[in-house]
Amino acid sequence: MENKQNSIIDLTFDFALEIIEFTELLEEKRKFVIAKQLLKSGTSIEANFRESQNAESKADFIHKLKIAAKEADEIEYWLLLCQKAKSYPDSKHMLDKVNHLQRTLSKIISATKRNLN
């Protein structure tokens, strides 16, 4: 599981960096409200995953990953708004990335739950 965890840390860190760049693009276009929402949620996935690495139990680990998954769901919402709004930059690439993160987090949560029993 160690390699998978390192891989997801790389994925979440890279995603946070890309969210920063995307929010800077939004701010250049004066889309401050959604930029702020995306920045908070987009960097929170990595923060919550890192917290999970110091979980006190498997249940705590799952809980922290579920928080990261909720943040990913929120990001998906904001990115879908950007994708559909005519005056916003294209967010398809970011949507693809967050969808990949959602699937990855879901697999880790499911596998950990199976190992609890």
CATH number of the domain that residue 77 is part of: 1.20.1440.60
User: Any idea what DSSP says for residue 80?
Assistant: H
> Alpha-carbon distance 87 to 56, whole Å?
45
> Residue with structure tokens 């199976």?
114
pLDDT number for residue 7: 85
Q: For residue 1, is pLDDT > 50?
A: no
User: Residue 71's domain spans which residues?
Assistant: 2-116
pLDDT number for residue 115: 87
Please tell me the total count of domains within the chain: 1
Distances (CA, A) of 74 to 1, 40, 51, 58: 27, 10, 19, 24
Identify which has the larger pLDDT, 32 or 4. Answer: 32
83, exposed or middle or buried, with CB in 10 Å at 0-12, 13-18, 19+? middle
Residue type (1 letter), 44: S
pLDDT, one tens digit per residue, over 24-57 is: 999 999 999 999 999 999 999 999 999 999 999 9
pLDDT, one tens digit per residue, over 63-94 is: 999 999 999 999 999 999 999 999 999 999 99
* Residue 89 token pair: 């930059």
pTM exceeds 0.95: no
